[in-house]
Structure formats: C-alpha cells, structure tokens
Amino acid sequence: MKPIIRVENLTHTYGVNTPFCRNAVDHVSMEIMEGEFLGIIGHTGSGKSTLIQHLNGLLKPTSGRILLGEEDIWADPKRIRNVRFRVGLVFQYPEYQLFEETVYKDIAFGPKNMGLDEKEIDRRVRSALAFSGLGEELLDKSPFDLSGGQKRRVAIAGVIAMEPEVLILDEPSAGLDPAGRQSMLENIRNYHKEKGTTVVMVSHSMDEVAENVDRIAVLANAGVVMSGTPHQVFSRAQELLDVGLNVPQVTQVAMELKRQGLAIDPAVYTVADLRAALCALRGGIA
Amino acid sequence: MLKDITLGQYFPGNSLAHKLDPRTKILLTVLYIVTLFCARSFVSYGIVALLLATGVKVSGVAPKALVRGLKPILFIICFTAALNLLYTPGEVLASFWIFKITKEGIFTAFFMVLRITMLIMGTFLLTYTTSPIALTDGLETLLGPLKKAKVPVHELAMIMSIALRFIPTLIEETDKIMSAQKARGADFESGSLMQRAKALVPILVPLFISAFRRADELAVAMECRCYHGDAGRTKLHVLRYQARDYLVLAAYGIVLAAVLTLAHFGL
C-alpha cells in the first residue's frame, strides 16, 4: 500500500508572540495509507483536532508539510478548496453546522460548492444518505425537526456526498446512546468496506477504536508516541497508561488473567479473540 | 483568526488602580471627563495630562497599549483637527482658496486633539484595570437609586454581564462553524459583495440556533437555582469603600477644584 497523505515534520503553534504561545502539534511525521481504516487516539488536548484540521488545509502549518498524493497541499494556496473536496472532514458534533431548509439541500451544499451538475448532485445526495443509514423520506424535511442522532447522520452525509478520497471523522459517536453508537460505527465500517476509501477516525474510546480500525496512531503531548496494528499498540499497555490513556476493557481482562498466572496473550482486544484464547487454554489443560 | 479579537480589554493586575472600588473608578472617570471639558489653557491641560500620566503609572498598564487603543478613532481625531483648523474665525495667518488658517484655529485644533486623546486614554484606563464583572457590579450599585424610579437597574446589569460572558463563547462557536462549512467547500473570501453576503447564511443560521439554544439552557439553569430577579437578592462580594477610595476621591476633588478655579480666571 502506498501512502495517500504524508505528514512531514508538522508543527503548529497557537498564539505566536503572546504569553499563551504553545505548540499544539510538535514535529509530527506520519503516513496515512491508501484504503486503510486508521484510528487516531489521544486524550483531550493531545493535538488530535489540530492535527486533523491540517490534513484538509483548514489550518496552515507553522512549519512542516502535508503531502496529498505527491503534492504539497499548500503549493498553491488558491487551490486549497480542492484539497477540502478530496479530504472530507467531519467535525465533532457536526449537527451544529446544519443550516438549510431541507435535508436534501443541506447534504447538497458540499457537492454544489464543487460545481457539479444537478443530476450528479442528486445521485450523490441519495447515495450519501443511504451510507449514513437514513431513509429517503427524510429528504424533504427540515433538518431541525430531526432527532439528535438523525441530525448527526445528515451532517456526516453532507461530507460523504463530496465523495472524498479520505474521510476524516472527529469523535463521530460522541454523545450518542449505546445503540446509536453501535449503529453509527457499523455505518462507518460499511462505508469503508463498500467504498474502499481511506477512513480516519479520531476517538478517545479505546474500545471503539479497537473494534474497528486496521491501524492506530497514538497522540500524546503534541506528538505521535506509537503507531501500529491494534495488537502491537495494546501490547504496550503500560506506555498507554503512562500517557493517560487506557486499553480496551477486553485487554484489561486479559492482562488481569495474565497477572493471575494464566498463560494468555495480554494484548487481545476483541471479545471473540479473548474467547478463542480462553477456549484454547481450557483445551490445553483438559 | 477570530480569536485574535480582544474584548473587554481587561489586563489583570495588582496595582492600586486595580484594587480601587469599581464605583470609585467610574466616578473618577466621570469627574475626569468633566475636568477635561473645563480645561481651557495650557496650565489646566497640563494638570489633566499630569493626572493621566499618574493614573497610567499607578496602574502599571503599558503606555503602548493605551496608544494602540487610539488607532480605531484616528480618523475622527484627524477629521476634528482639520475642521477646527480650517473653520475657526480669528486672526488669519495663512489662506488659500476658501480656507483660512487662523491663530485661534491652530490652538483650538491642538486642544481638541489633546482633549479627545486624553478622553479615550482615560476611559481605556478604566476598562484596562477593571474586570467587566466588577464594572457592571459597580454600575449597578451606582445606579441603584434609579430603582426608586422603576428603572430595572439590576436586570440591565444582569443582561450586560450575560452578554459579556457569552462573547468569547460565541466567537469560539463562530470559528468552529466557519471551519465546518469551509470543510464543505464554503468560500468566504472571494466573489462579489452580494455573493459574500450570501455566503454568510451557512454561518449565521447555525450561530443563531446555537445562541437561542444556549439562552434557553441558561434560562433553565437560572430557574433551577431559583433566580427571581432583584427582590431579596444579596451579593457574594459586597462592594465596600476602603480608606484608599476616600483618599483618591478627595485628592481628585482638589484637582477638580483647581482646574475649575483656573477656568474661572480664564486660564
């Protein structure tokens, strides 16, 4: 796999020349591979949001570069809007950005800004709506009459409708109830599977990330401290705890079992894996 | 980018100017303005300037910050100066076309500029050394007597503090909404005036909705804590005049008397 986005030595400083000057992102280098499902985790204030706002050119690096494909996204600042169409960013609590009279018009806002024709816009709106798990009967309703979860799905559909090469979601399940959370993640998983596009999900819930992504990047103190497959990352549980993060509940159980003397891999992170490991163990004893 | 706007402009500090009762400072500012408008000569302007310099020195506010505050009204200052310079009748020094520059004109223009500059600097000193909350608190107490005339002083002060409290919140919110719409390709920087005005709709609608939502939540939160307006309400921090307040006010009284006396003798 080749990288679709490369972050090279990125630094972003807030409040230059004031007493509040600080680096929100400090010399970060990372790669996002084409077609992967990447999870970015980090506690509050670790620089997650600042980092992702660089990926589509909403923030300009204080120093360093962002390469999309082979091109520096700031090579021609006039074309930065194009980058935003190719790298779709869904903010945290995106439902607060809805503004149109109907759901249809709101989802069509992005594609319209791209200058597509009516027919193409119509196709994209309907397909995005389906990916977000909403029915077409909502298209003519006012977005403000919908429930919280539906509003969020409309907002996400508004970004999906641009059909970006990379979809970035900042805490897409924050504030939803457990059932809403599950179905939201399932929709995102399906979108990734069917479209085959790159998806980046930012979260601070270990369980959520563990169950969904191919690869994890851990952010702490304005830098990337670890990255790798969930198994690689969760096998370094102590380091995660040191930077104020946790490991998935399943991993916690496995670690405790290991401590109690069972010969078990402490880095398993899904219920199915733990079950398999435990069965194998019992088979081994009996 | 919106975060760079400074509002309220309060510089926290621990000087005498910061410690004075807000009421004292408001009164001083009013008296200072009166003094400024009574001054008519170099001597009395000198006294007021000395007063301002003392105030700045005591407050520890950087003079640079005060000068920066003048920038937005630079145009008004220049305009006033030009008008006074060209349209004051008196002893003609130079003339061209319909304009005449008179000796009186030069003096009036000079004093006008001095007056406006010192007026702005003096009032800035008040907002630089007094937190917005203390300021509204002081105003509420000072205007207290108006309650007898059924003026809703407490409610007005409450409205003012809530507005001040929500300015930074709404700025942050606007910033967020703008970013979110930009991520969907919204363009706020190019196009004709009409197009730019239209481009604001995707910001204004969510902003208003969120402002109303916040207002609603705040109202509920206030009700939950049994807020019922002014009647029977006490304060956590009751304003009390200290010895230093009386001293400063008394000292200022002497200066005001001096300037008024000078003005009486035409100085």
Q: What is the pLDDT of residue A67?
A: 92
Q: What is the Cα–Cα distance from B242 to B19, expressed in whole angstroms?
A: 10
The count of other CB atoms within 10 Å of the CB of residue A102 is 14
Q: What is the mean pLDDT of residues B183-204?
A: 86
Q: Which helix (H) or strand (E) holds B52?
A: helix B42-59
B172-186, pLDDT tens digit by residue? 899 999 999 999 988
pLDDT tens-digit profile, chain A (286 residues): 789 999 999 999 987 766 667 888 889 999 999 999 999 998 888 888 899 999 999 999 999 999 998 889 998 888 888 999 999 999 999 988 899 999 999 999 999 999 999 999 999 999 999 999 899 999 999 999 999 899 999 999 999 999 999 999 999 988 888 888 899 999 999 999 999 999 999 988 888 888 889 999 999 888 898 999 988 998 888 888 888 888 888 888 888 888 898 888 888 888 888 888 888 887 755 4
Give per-residue pLDDT as tens, A159-178: 999 999 999 999 998 888 88
A–B CB contacts, 8 A cutoff, strictly below: 56
CA-nearest residue of chain B to A18? Answer: B4
Which chain B residue lies closest to A115 (C-alpha atoms)? Answer: B185
- At residue B111, the 3 state secondary structure works out as helix
Determine which of B174, B179, B184, B214 to mutate to test the interface with A (most A C-beta atoms within 10 Å): B184
Q: CA of B212 to nearest chain A CA: how many angstroms apart?
A: 12
Residue B201 touches chain A, beta carbons under 8 Å: yes
pLDDT in tens, A180-228: 889 999 999 999 999 999 999 998 888 888 888 999 999 988 889 899 9
Q: In Å, what is the CA distance from B117 to each residue of B10, B49, B111?
A: 20, 10, 10
The residues, ordered by sequence, that sit 6+ positions from B224 with a Cβ below 8 Å of its Cβ are none
What CA–CA distances, in Å, run from A41 to A45, A69, A282, B21, B56?
11, 24, 34, 49, 49
- Residues of chain B contacting A91 with CB distance shorter than 8 Å: 176, 179-180, 183
Contact B82, B149 (CB under 8 A): no
pLDDT at B217 exceeding the cut of 50: yes
Q: Using CB atoms and an 8 Å cut-off, which of residues 119-138 of chain A contact chain B? A: none
Which residue of chain A has the CA closest to B189? A78
Q: Environment class of residue B60 by beta-carbon count within 10 Å: exposed (0-12), middle (13-18) or buried (19+)?
A: middle
DSSP category for residue B10: -
Confirm or reject contact between A169 and chain B (CB < 8 A): no
Return the amino acid letter for A118.
Answer: E
Q: Which of B199, B197, B164, B198 is nearest to B178 (CA)?
A: B199
**How far apart are the C-alpha atoms of A89 and A29, rounded to whole Å?**
20
At A164 the pLDDT is 94
Question: Is A79 an 8 Å CB contact of chain B?
Answer: no
Residue A30: other Cβ atoms inside 10 A? 18
Q: Does residue B184 sit at the A interface (CB-CB below 8 Å)?
A: yes
Tokens of B88: 């004051």
Q: Does B222 touch chain A (CB under 8 A)?
A: no
**Distance in Å, alpha carbon of A81 to nearest chain B alpha carbon:** 6
What is the residue type of A56? Answer: N
Q: What is the pLDDT of residue B223?
A: 92
